Amino acid sequence: DAGITQSPRHKVTETGTPVTLRCHQTENHRYMYWYRQDPGHGLRLIHYSYGVKDTDKGEVSDGYSVSRSKTEDFLLTLESATSSQTSVYFCATYGTSGGSTDTQYFGPGTRLTVL
Amino acid sequence: AQSVTQPDIHITVSEGASLELRCNYSYGATPYLFWYVQSPGQGLQLLLKYFSGDTLVQGIKGFEAEFKRSQSSFNLRKPSVHWSDAAEYFCAVALSGYSTLTFGKGTMLLVSP
């Protein structure tokens, strides 16, 4: 599964607090993505990165920022969490893994609850 | 902008019966097409993908999908469903392999004994 880990796996926080989610990969993949999953919406893209320090916005980027200072780490920050950001967050990378052809691989997800 | 429609929110299939999950897309060109499966509390696992060539694509776990350009569809099929196939299935499209994915809203598959 492309060696993708996400931390934390679960987090409960309060409205107005900053939150940072981390995605770490061991495959040296260039492309990385953050999606959120909500019931009835499937997965929606928040931000993505096409290289170190190169990022761009996705469909639902408001209230989120990202940073990528090295290939293996892609951070998602909620500057001031709101209840509407309660969701499951998935990180993904694009590349080759374990002999499989290039595709997007997903991490295990982080369940975030904003009270 | 591209969009993906999975018209069935839930589907119940008897174990051993055949399965077809529908996916329609709206896109200006032939996109890259994917099916992912998600078991409860888990991440997404790629079942199969279509980039070009043979329009019938074989995937893991005995799944296949057929790309039909005239119908803008990429339906997922399995000849005989097992109880372990119960999960949520997502169809997705992209402009290229590394492009961002646009997902359908998912179809929840329930398998009855």
Render pLDDT for A12-57 as a digit per residue (tens, 0 to 9): 999 999 999 999 999 899 999 999 999 888 899 999 999 999 999 9
Cis geometry, peptide bond prior to residue A8 (ω within 30 degrees of 0): yes
CB contact under 8 A, A90 and B44: yes
- Assigned token pair, A108: 């295990």
B113 vs chain A: nearest CA distance in angstroms?
Answer: 26
In chain A, the residue whose alpha carbon lies closest to the alpha carbon of B44 is A106
Residue B81 CB: number of other CB atoms within 10 A?
A: 20
CB contact under 8 A, B100 and A90: no
Q: How confident is the model at residue A2 (pLDDT cuts 50, 70, 90)?
A: low
Residue from B91, B98, B102, B103 whose CB has the most chain A CBs within 10 Å, to mutate: B98
Q: Which residues contact A102 (CB under 8 A, 6 or more apart)?
A: A94, A95, A96, B97, B98
- For residues B41-59, average pLDDT: 91
- Assigned token pair, B10: 């839930």
Q: CB-CB: which of A104, A108, A109 is closest to B101?
A: A104
Nearest to B21 by CA among B61, B78, B72, B60: B78
Instruction: Please report, for residues A21, A27, B35, B54, B89, the alpha-carbon distance to residue A91 in angstroms, rounded to integers and kept in the order given.
Output: 10, 14, 17, 31, 18
pLDDT of residue A55: 95
Q: How confident is the model at residue B104 (pLDDT cuts 50, 70, 90)?
A: very high
CB B38 within 8 A of CB B103: no
Q: CB-CB: which of B42, B43, B46 is closest to A103?
A: B46
Nearest to A94 by CA among A60, A49, A61, A58: A49
CB B62 within 8 A of CB B71: no
Q: Does the pLDDT value for residue B27 go beyond 90? A: no
Per the DSSP assignment, residues forming a β-bridge with B12 are: B110
A99 vs chain B: nearest CA distance in angstroms?
Answer: 14
**What's phi and psi for B50, nearest 5 deg?**
-130, 125
Please measure the distance between the N-terminal and C-terminal CA atoms of chain A and give it in whole angstroms: 32
CB B90 within 8 A of CB B104: yes
CB contact under 8 A, B103 and A44: yes
The answer, for B60 touching chain A at a CB cutoff of 8 Å, is: no
